[in-house]
């Protein structure tokens, strides 16, 4: 019997496995497919909510926790796995100053560096961008990571750890006895544990539905495309309206993203490709000379206000949920895992868990 089973091997499940194992617990991570092949692979890896001043304090709290710790985690994962997750302090440029007052108030409160640039400043900053005629906002402290590399580094790190990893094994049900979790049923048979964590991303509500009304976590499809540009052609993350450009170290430029309520359909569409490409070329005209190298999609675990549920189940002791990170699971993941591990081990919380409580439905 394990101390703890984690259901779902996305970024949240893998980070949770890593942290729980580090406390000395015997941890089993069960994934129905491959580790890190769903939303956590598909994401852009921007280490900040977009327009961070628009978000509730509960999101900011987890994001700030992650921002302070990702550089060290990236170094540590690189040393452990030989895979560089490419933490890169690219900064975020917003070529519009219409939200300057709100952004400045937020930045002052959070001690985040924010600059207002005029049109000339914008041009000097990123000459490859189309002139927009107005100034913009510059947040130099915002970094990025490359998702496929981050999940690969975590996967390799786990392979060399004490965590028992089962892939290709769907969890089919939760085993409860007298109001206490005692394990899970899987396609390969039952697995017993004293504690279970549901980290099933967009699929989490389905895993919890047999125990009463689940939290309102739903899939929200996001499509992305990537261009293969030259290294340095664009240096900063650029956010305009609901579209963004992320320059990777090797010159590739990732363009995101759509927000689509289409259930668990992960297909990509020509319409999204056209819309993303047009937005990207309008922002950076040189992209018009390049073909889209690849298009993909992922299912975000959507939740009200983007606040994840990180809590013990109200009716089943020992069953914990860490899901619903919506658009910001990479940057909120470290903080949400910290909240969860503190709850599981009954440690004094480093972050107040109240905003992430299981919703009473």
Ligand X SMILES: Cc1cc2nc3c(=O)[nH]c(=O)nc-3n(C[C@H](O)[C@H](O)[C@H](O)COP(=O)(O)OP(=O)(O)OC[C@H]3O[C@@H](n4cnc5c(N)ncnc54)[C@H](O)[C@@H]3O)c2cc1C
Under rule CB under 6 A, residue 329 binds ligand X: yes
Give me the 153-172 binding string for ligand X, x by CB under 6 A, dash otherwise.
-----------------xx-
325 touching ligand X, by CB under 6 A:
yes
From 224, 229, 239, 245, residue interacting with ligand X (rule: CB under 6 A): 224
Structure tokens at 255: 């363009």
Distant-in-sequence, close-in-space partners of 120: CB < 8 Å, separation ≥ 6: none
Residue 298 sits in the site that holds ligand X (CB under 6 A): yes
Using the rule CB under 6 A, is 306 a contact of ligand X? no
Asked if 149 touches ligand X (CB under 6 A), the answer is: no
Q: How far apart are the first and last CA of the chain?
A: 33
| 191 scored as a contact of ligand X (CB under 6 A) | no
**Size of interface with ligand X, in residues (CB under 6 A):** 43
| DSSP assignment string, 182-213 | EEEEETTEEEEEEEEEE--GGGHHHHHGGGSS
In angstroms, give the least distance from the CB of 84 to ligand X.
Answer: 18
Q: Write out the two tokens for 274.
A: 């056209």
Tokens (6 digits) for 249: 């170290």
Which among 26-34, 73-81, 313-321, 341-349 is the span making contact with ligand X, rule CB under 6 A? 26-34
Measured distance CA(17)–CA(154) in Å, rounded: 10
Site mask for ligand X (CB under 6 A), range 39-78, x = bound: xx-xxxxx--------------------------------
Q: Answer yes or no whether residue 90 interacts with ligand X by CB under 6 A.
A: no
328 binds ligand X (CB under 6 A): yes
CB of 336 to ligand X, least distance (A): 9
User: How far is it, in rounded angstroms, from Cα 354 to Cα 350?
Assistant: 12
From candidates 203, 227, 320, 356, binder to ligand X by CB under 6 A: 203
Residues forming beta bridges with residue 226, ordered by sequence position: 254, 294
Whole-angstrom distance, CA of residue 323 vs CA of residue 307 = 9
Q: Taking CB under 6 A as the rule, does residue 91 contact ligand X?
A: no
Angle, alpha carbons 225-231-233 (nearest 5°): 80
Q: How far is the CB of 275 from ligand X (least distance, A)?
A: 14
What is the distance between the alpha carbons of residues 339 and 310, in angstroms, rounded to a whole number?
A: 7
- 183 scored as a contact of ligand X (CB under 6 A): no
Residue selected from 30, 139, 163, 341 as contacting ligand X according to rule CB under 6 A = 30
Residue 134 CB, nearest distance to ligand X (Å)? Answer: 25
Q: To the nearest whole angstrom, how small is the minimum distance from the Cβ of residue 234 to ligand X?
A: 16
Q: What helix, strand, coil percent values describe the chain, rounded to 5?
A: 35, 25, 35
The token pair that represents 143 in the structure block? 């970094």
> What is the distance, to the nearest Å, from the Cα of residue 57 to the centroid of all Cα atoms in its chain?
17
Q: How far is the CB of 23 from ligand X (least distance, A)?
A: 20
Q: Which of 2, 1, 27 is nearest to 340 (CA)?
A: 27
Using CB under 6 A, list all residues that contact ligand X.
7-13, 30-33, 37-40, 42-46, 170-171, 199-203, 207, 222, 224, 256-257, 298, 300-301, 323, 325-331
């Amino acid at each position: 019997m394990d101390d703890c089973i984690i259901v779902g091997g996305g970024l949240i499940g893998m980070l949770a496995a890593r942290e729980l194992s580090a406390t000395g617990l015997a941890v089993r991570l069960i994934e129905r497919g491959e580790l890190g092949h769903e939303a956590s692979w598909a994401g852009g890896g921007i280490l900040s909510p977009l327009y961070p001043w628009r978000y509730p304090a509960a999101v900011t709290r987890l994001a700030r926790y992650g921002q302070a710790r990702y550089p060290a985690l990236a170094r540590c994962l690189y040393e452990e796995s030989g895979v560089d997750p490419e933490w890169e302090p690219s900064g975020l440029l917003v070529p519009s100053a219409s939200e300057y007052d709100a952004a400045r108030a937020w930045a002052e409160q959070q001690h985040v560096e924010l600059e207002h640039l005029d049109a000339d400043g914008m041009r000097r900053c990123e000459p490859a961008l189309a002139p927009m005629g107005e100034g913009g906002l510059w947040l130099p402290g915002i970094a990025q990571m490359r998702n496929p590399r981050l999940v690969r580094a975590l996967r390799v790190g786990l392979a060399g750890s004490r965590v028992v990893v089962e892939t290709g094994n769907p969890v089919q049900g939760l085993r409860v006895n007298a109001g206490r979790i005692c394990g899970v049923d899987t396609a390969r048979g039952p697995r017993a544990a004293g504690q279970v964590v549901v980290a099933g991303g967009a699929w989490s509500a389905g895993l919890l539905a047999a125990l009463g009304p689940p939290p309102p976590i739903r899939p929200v499809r996001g499509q992305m495309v990537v261009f293969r540009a030259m290294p340095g052609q664009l240096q900063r993350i650029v956010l305009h309206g609901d579209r963004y450009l992320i320059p990777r170290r090797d010159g590739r430029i990732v363009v995101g993203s759509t927000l689509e309520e289409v259930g668990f359909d992960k297909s990509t569409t020509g319409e999204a490709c056209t819309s993303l490409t047009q937005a990207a070329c309008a922002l950076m005209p040189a992209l018009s000379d390049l073909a889209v190298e690849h298009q993909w999609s992922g299912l975000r675990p959507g939740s009200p206000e983007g606040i994840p549920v990180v809590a013990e189940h109200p009716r089943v002791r020992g069953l914990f949920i860490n899901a619903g990170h919506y658009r910001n699971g990479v940057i909120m993941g470290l903080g949400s895992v910290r909240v969860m591990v503190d709850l599981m081990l009954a440690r004094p919380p480093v972050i107040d868990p109240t905003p992430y409580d299981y919703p009473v439905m």
